[in-house]
Amino acid sequence: MDVTARQNVAVLGATGSIGKATCEVLRHLGAPYRAIGLTAHRDLATLSELAELLSPEELVISGGTPHLTQNTTNERSSADTALTGSGRWRVREGAEALVELASSPNVDTVVAAIVGSAGMASTLAAVEHGKRVALANKESMVVAGPIMLQAAAKSGAQILPVDSEHSAIFQAMQAGGVDEVERIILTASGGPFLRKPLNELPHVSVEEACRHPTWQMGRKITIDSATMMNKALEVIEARWLFQMPAEKIHVMVHPQSIIHSMVEFKDGSVLAQLSPPDMKLPIQYALTFPKRLESPTLRMDWTKRLQLELEPVDFERFPALQLGFEVAKAGGTAGAVLNASNEAAIDLFLSGKIRFVDIATVCREILNQHHYESSPTIERLCELDRWARQEVMKWT
Ligand code: NAD
Ligand code: MG
């Protein structure tokens, strides 16, 4: 790709943790990169701040009209006015507007940074329209990996990983062919409960589960990191993104979050990618690949002693990870059911209706209950997403 060519970027989920980091990267990069569209679900105040900073052409508020008309707080009211009254950008509402923005001929690159399967339709639209897709929304790959890959093969879309582990693997894989890879080793921080006595896990609070030791992230992925469902989803994401059988994917706990992942090649050589934990780096690489440009990210300090640990995963402590390997092997409908069960179970945990340890149990139960199909359509996957959420509700 010619990086001097126009790069109009749509940031889907701009108000989230990845979205805001993307906006920072875009401000740093400057021309030819330009934020042409930004989306938020509900957070109008942040959307309006980002719009002031980046002057996009279009804003999408996917959560819809009620938020524009309620005006229950001063903040909301002034954000509404800033968004709709200025006339400096087109403002559209609703989930369809996300798909339209992701498909727009004015958009070259789509940063898919919506959380959960809510991001799937817009991510798929971007892939179907041949965009460069910087993929943070791992859930869409977990739910519909083969459909995403088929669509990309047809349209010529390039799917570039934003997830730090997959970016690390992608970077290491520049050194050899897919057929030369022996295995990939995903690293996992271990989250807040890596050393917590096992008998205390049933009683952990929402607040404790939300306290991640190394990464600042949105709430859903923070809970996923505590259960290690995040790594389970990443195993499945890697299975599709790199077309790597589950047997060739390995996970190691690495509490420092400096080694973002590794690739072991057939000759025994292992290549790793290291950097301080800062998502701006993988985001920028997904935008500028194959170029590496000056970046606004944290740097390693080579004047200090550096201790890096790698240890095997305790599957008894993190039963969710086992589900990831099983689903990566099964494919078909399994990813959609695991993902939706997990999203719904997290909501129940956050609202105090189930315990932390129940999240993986609920997912296992619903996965076992479902009628597996090997080559589902996208409509069938969406139906199963709804079905699994309803099944989870029965646990309350
Ligand atoms: P977040 O909760 O901080 O932000 C989510 C964004 O999605 C917000 O902009 C929100 O407005 C939007 N959104 C929420 N619900 C929506 C809906 N129903 N429809 C449309 N938009 C909706 O989440 P995050 O931590 O930025 O994570 C975003 C994605 O990136 C997730 O898939 C996550 O797994 C992945 N990811 C995040 C990190 C990280 O460091 N935060 C790292 C790797 C991967
Ligand atoms: Mg990750």
Q: Is the CB of 118 under 6 A from ligand 1?
A: yes
Atom of ligand 1 nearest to the CA of 20: 26
For residue 136, the ligand 1 atom closest to its alpha carbon is 30
Q: Tens digits of per-residue pLDDT, 79-101?
A: 666 677 667 899 999 999 999 99
Listed residue (62, 61, 9) closest to 37, CA to CA: 9
CATH homologous superfamily for the domain 7-161: NAD(P)-binding Rossmann-like Domain (3.40.50.720)
Is any ligand 1 atom within 6 A of the Cβ of residue 136? yes
pLDDT of residue 347: 97
Spatial strand order in the sheet of 249-253: 270-274, 259-265, 181-188, 249-253, 311-312
Task: Supply the pTM of this predicted model.
Answer: 0.96
d(CA 189, CA 231): 10
Tell me the domain boundaries of the chain.
Answer: 7-161, 166-277+299-331
Ligand found nearest the CA of 222: 1
Summarised one tens digit per residue, pLDDT across range 193-251 is 999 999 999 999 999 999 988 888 999 999 999 999 999 999 999 999 999 999 999 99
Instruction: Grade residue 340 by pLDDT with cuts at 50, 70 and 90.
Output: very high
Tell me: pLDDT of 4 over 70. no
pLDDT of residue 78: 59
Cα(193) to centroid(ligand 1), Å: 23
115 pocket-lining for ligand 1 (C-beta < 6 Å): yes
Is the CB of residue 17 below 6 angstroms from any atom belonging to ligand 1? yes
With 0-12 CB in 10 A as exposed, 13-18 as middle and 19+ as buried, what is 377? Answer: exposed
Q: Using a 6 Å cutoff on CB, does residue 279 contact ligand 1?
A: yes
What CA dihedral angle connects 56, 290, 143 and 114, to 10 degrees?
A: -20
Mean pLDDT over 28-44 rounds to: 97
384 CA distance to ligand 1 centroid (A)?
Answer: 22
Q: Whose CA is nearest to atom 5 of ligand 1?
A: 16
Q: Tens of pLDDT along 244-290?
A: 999 999 999 999 999 999 999 999 999 999 999 999 999 999 999 99
pLDDT at 300: 97
**Ligand with minimal distance to 169 CA:** 2
